Amino acid sequence: MHGYQLMQAISDRSGGRWTPSPGAIYPTISQLEDEGLVAVSADAGRKLVTLTDAGRELLATQRDTRPDPFAQNSEPRAGVDLRGLLEQVHGATREVGRNGTDAQTAAAAEILRDARRSLYLLLAEEPAASTPTTTD
């Protein structure tokens, strides 16, 4: 594939959750080429990237020990769209940062700190001490 095709393939495989930039793809291709895992050749003025035998061997040996990085993105989890909710929180935070008073910005920072703590406590399976309440 060409670099652009790789970016599109990653975007497609991740369900649009990540589209790498040229600044991420091309240095990675160069590193993989330096490691002998891909070969880069010219094709109609573009760089064509192909796995080498060493690259195929590495993939074969790691297939069973490394999870498919795109497998978790193939199916939504129980209908919960955490990414969408996070984007909404990001938008609201940005608005408070742009238009809020100093007191509102400070209150938003505390809400975000509490949310982060609560999420980590959730992973630790400990009940959150308190849930922050807000008014609209």
DSSP string covering the chain, please? -BHHHHHHHHHHHTTTS----HHHHHHHHHHHHHTTSEEEEEETTEEEEEE-HHHHHHHHHHTTTS--TTGGGSS-STT--HHHHHHHHHHHHHHHHHH--HHHHHHHHHHHHHHHHHHHHHHTT---S-------
Give the domain 3-73 fold: Arc Repressor Mutant, subunit A (1.10.10)
User: For 21-47, what is each residue's pLDDT tens digit?
Assistant: 899 999 999 999 999 999 999 888 888
- pLDDT digits over 63-107, tens only? 888 877 777 655 555 677 787 888 899 999 999 999 999 999 999
**Domain map of the chain by residue range?**
3-73, 82-123
Task: Write down the pTM of the prediction.
Answer: 0.53
